Amino acid sequence: MKEILTALGRIFIRMPIGMLVVLKHLFKKPVTLDYPRKKKPMAPRFMGRQYLERYDDGSERCVSCGLCAAACPADCIYMEPAENEKGERYAKVFEINLLRCIFCGFCEEACPEEAIFMGHHYEFSADNRDSFIWTKEDMLVKHPRKDNPFKTLFRRVRKVYGVGEKKG
Amino acid sequence: MSAEKKTITLNMGPQHPSTHGVLRVKLELDGERVVTAEPIIGYLHTGIEKTMESMLYYKAIPATDRMDYLAPMSNNLGYCLAVEKLMDIEVPEKVKWARVCLVELTRVASHLVWLGTHSMDLGAMSMLIYAFRERELIIDLYEACGGQRMMTSYIRIGGLASDLPADFEKKVRNIIKTIREKMKDYDKLLTENPIFIMRTKGVAVISAEDAINYCLSGPMLRGCGVDYDVRKANPYSGYENFDFDVPLGKNGDAYDRYLIRMEEMRQSLKIAEQAIDGMPEGPYRAHVPGVVLPPKEDVLYKMESMIFHFKIITDGFKAPVGSVYQAIESPRGELGFYITGDGTNIPRRVRVRPPSFVNLGALPILTEGYLLADVVCAIGSIDIVLGEVDR
Ligand code: SF4
Ligand code: SF4
């Protein structure tokens, strides 16, 4: 007898209570977004496609030290260094294969010059494999640029070692 | 009619919505009764263990995320604790508390996915949407912390990847409050629902003895009343400071496992609350020159940090000769990492004890003699992640 009563209670009381929960949601505002038209703002630390930052005076930050390539677990960074007329190193070729990249952000963490950063751009589908190889031209940010919109930069101006440095 | 019994062989999967990945189950059916069920795995094999053996220690962290992709923080923690044990690193107090908070929220997120998919397998469609809605809050927290929504790699050797975000506490409190509120809804929907009870009660039963013999762990083991939780048995990362209960079942059926996981979510929220209440101040990384990366601010201004930064990134660190085993309680059970160092900067052997893989081994026992439709329930209640099964 007790079991029958419990079963009946479940069917006639518990189940309608559950249905009421679903019914309640009919009148709630949906939490989903109308995606391609509306976008969710990403968190400041979000890691999307990489970009290469510049100093305030417009010079490239990257010195082609290769630390980002060394830190990359997916081995997807390729670079060739060169020297400009002032004797400063820069990356002649800098390529990231986005098909291999796993967006772990190790390159950003490794870079000692604050050159490479993970941006907030996450929509980069294409219909051929070649366009996933991002070159330096694609990644280098435009100049002049007010500020890094996503991350804070610690150092703003290129530091020239040994020139105008205070002792002590 | 002839007296001899005819059985038929049926393939379930590899592409089946209820196998939660690419799992193939070879079923031997007598009418609608299952005679034997044989899980066939390997369709998702990625060679993660082998990959980790060819990488510097710190570089293998993103690989661990990709095993159990529903609980990335737990995997990070297991690996990092193992390497910290090997290298004898003591992490700051704050790191421990932050890790516990994140890992417990990971457990909630993982159980929410399980709840949604398991109940959808059994016909409760709206549950999936609700569970994923709440999980989104936790995924947002990951994004705010580590920058990635699923493959976080946030827990690193000797600390965290970066300091906790400024609004961490507010976010966690919001998550705890919202999920506690919503869990009442889940209870109303499922716990006393006659259809759900009929589909789960007395289905996929395993006895305590079998469970121990099959090496099960996690909710699968506690569902039959065996009190074993790595957090209590071998506390790690400061779990001994937290006050929580380990829920136990009685019958070892799918319904008990459901109740346990629901209770575990409540307990996890409780632990996360304690962690956020008592979060001490301090650095977010241990100071171990040459092994743990120095903070980025120091790298830019201090010569010594810069040198160590270059050295660790390019060359890693040399681990001593020896083996360690570190187990943690992942949402699915005991997740263990066995690492052998050989004096060089890459591990000689990394072996993962994946809870999903071991728990899946009990599938033949769980399904024998039940109906074909109960196989779906059994697979769902094991809570497997195929990425972890195949590694
Ligand atoms: S991006 Fe940074 S780490 Fe990579 S080569 Fe340039 S300076 Fe070095
Ligand atoms: S995000 Fe990770 S995988 Fe991608 S380029 Fe940077 S280091 Fe390599």
Looking at residue B325, what is its pLDDT?
A: 92
Q: What is the dihedral of CA B110, B112, B117, B118, to 10 degrees?
A: 100
For residue A2, give its domain range. Answer: 1-31
Q: Do A68 and A126 belong to one domain?
A: yes
Nearest ligand 2 atom, CA A68: 7
Distance between CA atoms of residues B325 and B337, nearest Å = 6
**Structural domains counted in chain A:** 2
Nearest in space to A61 (alpha carbons), one of A26, A90, A38: A90
> If you average pLDDT over residues B202-206, what whole number do you get?
85
Structure ipTM = 0.82
Distance between CA atoms of residues B132 and B189, nearest Å = 15
Q: Do A11 and A87 belong to one domain?
A: no
B179 contacts: CB under 8 Å, gap ≥ 6: B108, B134, B137, B265, B269
Instruction: Give the tens place of pLDDT for each residue, B141-171.
Output: 998 888 888 888 889 888 888 888 888 889 9
pLDDT beneath 50: ranges in chain A = 162-168
Angle between helices B93-121 and B125-146 (to 10 degrees): 160
Q: Does any domain span residue A131? A: yes
Residue located nearest, by CA, to atom 5 of ligand 2: A101
Looking at residue A157, what is its pLDDT?
A: 65
Domain of A118, CATH number, reads: 3.30.70.3270
Whether the per-residue pLDDT at B117 is higher than 50: the answer is: yes
Instruction: Give the tens place of pLDDT for each residue, A47-56.
Output: 888 888 887 7
Q: Does any domain span residue A69? A: yes
Burial state string for B209-233 with b = 16 or more CB within 10 A and e = fewer than 16 = eebeebebbbbbbbbbebebbbbee
B197 touches chain A (CB under 8 A): yes
Looking at residue A155, what is its pLDDT?
A: 67
CA of B195 to the centre of ligand 1 (A): 59
- A chain contacts of residue B300, beta-carbon cutoff 8 Å: 112, 114, 154-155
Query: Do B59 and A106 count as a contact with CB atoms less than 8 A apart?
Result: yes
Q: Do A131 and A57 belong to one domain?
A: yes
Q: Do A55 and A125 belong to one domain?
A: yes
Nearest in space to A50 (alpha carbons), one of A121, A149, A150: A121
Q: Does any domain span residue A86? A: yes
Q: Does any domain span residue A14? A: yes
Instruction: Give the tens place of pLDDT for each residue, B118-134.
Output: 888 888 888 888 888 88
Looking at residue A166, what is its pLDDT?
A: 46
Query: Do B145 and A45 count as a contact with CB atoms less than 8 A apart?
Result: yes
Compute CA A54 distance to the chain's CA centroid, rounded to the nearest angstrom: 17
Residue located nearest, by CA, to atom 4 of ligand 2: A101
Q: What is the DSSP letter of A98?
A: T
Q: Do A81 and A125 belong to one domain?
A: yes
Q: Do A71 and A23 belong to one domain?
A: no
Distance between CA atoms of residues B103 and A18, nearest Å = 31
